[in-house]
Amino acid sequence: MKSPKSSSVKTRDRIRDILRESITAKAYLLYDDALLGKIEEAAVRIIATVKRGGKVLICGNGGSAADSQHFAAELTGRFERERRPLPAVALTTDTSSLTALANDYGFDIVFERQVQALGRRGDILLAISTSGRSPNVLKAVRRAKKMGLGTIGLAGRDGGGLARAADLSVVVPATATARIQECHLCVIHILCAIVERAFS
């Protein structure tokens, strides 16, 4: 039988391992000039969209749905500074629409259909997928492009189809979903800070 002390040591080791993995994943962002440039460009495009009177649509599944809602909340509310509310809609929040669309048409179109309904030429879609392969996210991006919306992809691993479909893609080159999501949240906070400064 393992002693409580031995179990505690192993738990601490696992905690340290997770923290190291998270730091390593974020280091990819910190030291990759190309990735930094893409994050900067994403912020520039969002700022330009809002200044022209457009809005930001955001979509993703699971943890990426939570990130979508988080980003929309920071833009419509505030991040660190007082400024006017910025137009942002997470396409993940209306359970009646999501379940009706999934039931009537299939889950693959739940974001695409909302882009058709809510998107206008000159808006921008931020599409989030840790694998870059989520069918409903890819369909939303393709529909947005057909409608004249700008598209930004936030992906992981090799970027999948999202990296190719979006106008601009920020791909976190990690493999663990949790580490990718941690980096995505960091990128979202960076975007919030830069966008907010432009309107403060």
The DSSP secondary-structure symbol of 114 reads H
Q: Which residues of the chain have pLDDT under 50?
A: none
pTM greater than 0.85 (yes/no):
yes
Q: Hey, is 88 helix, strand or coil?
A: strand
pLDDT value, residue 152: 98
The confidence score (pLDDT) of residue 7 equals 81
- Per-residue pLDDT, 8: 84
The pLDDT value recorded for residue 53 is 98
- What are the C-alpha distances in Å from 59 to residues 9, 137, 197? 40, 7, 24
The string of pLDDT tens digits covering residues 6-25 is: 788 899 999 999 999 999 99
The correct CATH number of 4-198 out of 3.30.540.10, 3.30.460.80, 3.40.50.10490, 3.30.2130.30 is 3.40.50.10490
Report CA torsion sign: 101, 106, 111, 115.
negative
Residue ranges per structural domain of the chain: 4-198
Q: Which two tokens mark 34? A: 């190309």
pLDDT (0 to 100) of residue 78: 96
